[in-house]
Amino acid sequence: MNRKTFFALPFILLNSVIIFAALFKGLQISLGYYPIVGLKDFSLNNYQQVLAEPFFQKSLLYSCYLALTATFLSLIGGVALAFLLMKVPSCWLHKIINLPISLPHIIVALMIMQLISQSGIVSRIFFQVGWINGMDQFPLLIHDSGGFGILAVFLYKEIPFVAVTTLAILQQLQLGYIEVAKHLGASTIKIFFSIILPMIQKTLFTLFIILFCFTFASFEVPYLLGNPRNQTIAITTYELFTQADLTTRPLAFALNLVMSGICLTVSFLSLAISRFLPGGRKIW
């Protein structure tokens, strides 16, 4: 054991104990053992309920929709922006791109609310120039069923994050292969899919896991900008946990562990798929 590992060991052990103790307690309550409210029998009823009831299913599907949409659009936009940054080496442009990364999600959510809500800045401008006769004619972009405002916040935050991360990888790659391919007559699309994409594949899959898990479990942005009829899994869990009726807490813990299980499953599947693509390495 080297010196750095020795000094880090107390920190690792302390955090491991806290994390595993919390997981054990959550699993225990989710299985129905919650003596404080008289529940002392272990069962899978809470998991069956959160997976079978339409309300919880709708919450899970809506969270998956937001997470997948935000993640794929962020990856596509971020990669495109990274190539733009490579071709336009402007320090001011780089500083502008880095700005959204430093802002908390809740601040961006409030900015989006002030910008594109029916009483926001854009609707007022449209009203002043005569494009709409009343602010109620402005499209409902906040608290809508499609989650446009939520997606706008995620894209504003995550596209620059993907761009900066991908740009750092692109700048370290050996681009001689690209020059050779150009001299051999390969098209730009062929070069991207055959050379560049395999080189950044592992980074993109890592970013996919990070963005999906974060957006899937996000609470503050859907809570501020979401539609009450379309709740994400995080909001549903929060409402179950904060109800005066303590018997709903086992459901909240079960739903929370289901959310964690989905994130773990998506992460392992993404890593497995990445191994079999051209930029990965087969392990079986």
pLDDT of residue 107: 93
* Number of domains forming the structure of the chain: 1
> Of all residues in the chain, what percent carry a pLDDT higher than 70?
95
Give the start-end residues of each E strand in 24-148. 33-34, 39-40
Mean pLDDT value across residues 155-175: 86
pLDDT of residue 158: 94
Residue 166 belongs to what domain range? 47-276
Q: Lowest-pLDDT range, 39-43, 139-143, 264-268? A: 39-43
- Residues 216-240 have pLDDT tens digits of 999 999 999 988 888 899 999 998 8
Which CATH number characterizes residue 69's domain? Answer: 1.10.3720.10
DSSP state for residue 281 in the 8-state scheme? -
Residue 134 lies in a domain: yes
Residue 164 has pLDDT above 50, yes or no: yes
Tokens of 220: 């503050």
Look up the pTM and report it: 0.87
Mean pLDDT value across residues 177-196: 74
- Where b means 16+ CB within 10 Å and e means fewer, 23-41 reads eeebeebbbbebeeeebee
User: ∠ at Cα 240 (243, 104), nearest 5°?
Assistant: 105
Residue 3 lies in a domain: no
Residue 16 lies in a domain: no
CB of 204 closer than 8 Å to CB of 170: no
pLDDT of residue 119: 85
pLDDT of residue 280: 63
Residue closest to 141 by CA, chosen among 101, 108, 114: 114
pLDDT of residue 283: 36
Residue 124 lies in a domain: yes
